[in-house]
Structure 1
């Protein structure tokens, strides 16, 4: 089981480093256009308008999801703060994990919005910008998911851990 653990730790180290290096590379590239004006068809113009509304709707959905989770998290935390529970730390960790899950969902919505905005007649620079944005959000999502998994493992009761070892 040792080789598997060392391989997993190597992947956990190399994946974020590769994502960060890719992000730096994409942000350092700047492709200038050829200077030629590209003609757009009426269909392309309509598609851009429709996709723009869809992308805006996706961004609004992300804001609603994240905003609702923040309000719900604040309400749950205030209930915990004013209750006389002795499990304050464990319950606070639960609120934190719940908010983390919703933030990951909100990041997925914003990635979808960026993809929609680049869907109709993208330039090379648009594609590079999309790649950098998606890479950055994927990196954020990776660390957020890893933190959530570690938090959920910490929340497991001790007796269940003892039973799984036996």
Structure 2
């Protein structure tokens, strides 16, 4: 047929690029969904008159969870993109990006745990004796 054949490595690299793009789109969708959910929660709290610190915490916790998931998707996309014949520069960039995203994940997860802990504790039922 006269067409040039693309080397297998180049085809795999192209496939990996598409897979990484789809994963990155997933990250954008996850953050977008979380933002819409959080914004609607804020608006609903305001209009229903139930805006409180507890409601704000719940909204923040849900949004932070979505952001954590999106960070995982973004890191996965970077790993897929670098997996095919990486150069030392690619490996260095991935190491820096992975370190930053892992630190973000760690501290955000730690914040979520600290914010979520007081909400999980049942109210004290001690009675006061005079």
Please report the TM-score for the alignment, with normalisation by the length of structure 1: 0.69
* Aligned structure 1 segments of 4 or more residues deviating by more than 2 angstroms: 156-162
Structure 1 SS opposite 2:83: coil
Q: 1:55 aligns with which of 11, 20, 34?
A: 20
Q: What does 1:94-133 align with in structure 2 at a 5 Å threshold?
A: 94-133=58-97
* Matching of residues 1-166 of structure 1 within 5 Å: 42-85=7-50, 88-159=52-123
1:9 paired residue number: none
- Unpaired segments ≥5 residues, structure 2: 1-5
> Unaligned stretches of 5+ in structure 1?
1-40
What is the SS of the residue equivalent to 1:118?
helix
How many pairs align? Answer: 121
Measured after TM superposition, the shift of residue 160 of structure 1 is 6.4
Report the Cα distance in structure 2 between the residues aligned to 1:88 and 1:49, rounded to whole angstroms.
50
TM-score (norm: length of structure 2): 0.87
**Structure 1 residues 124 and 90: CA distance shift in structure 2, 3 A:** same
Q: How large is the RMSD of aligned CA atoms in angstroms?
A: 1.7
How far the C-alpha of 1:88 sits from its partner, in A, is 1.5
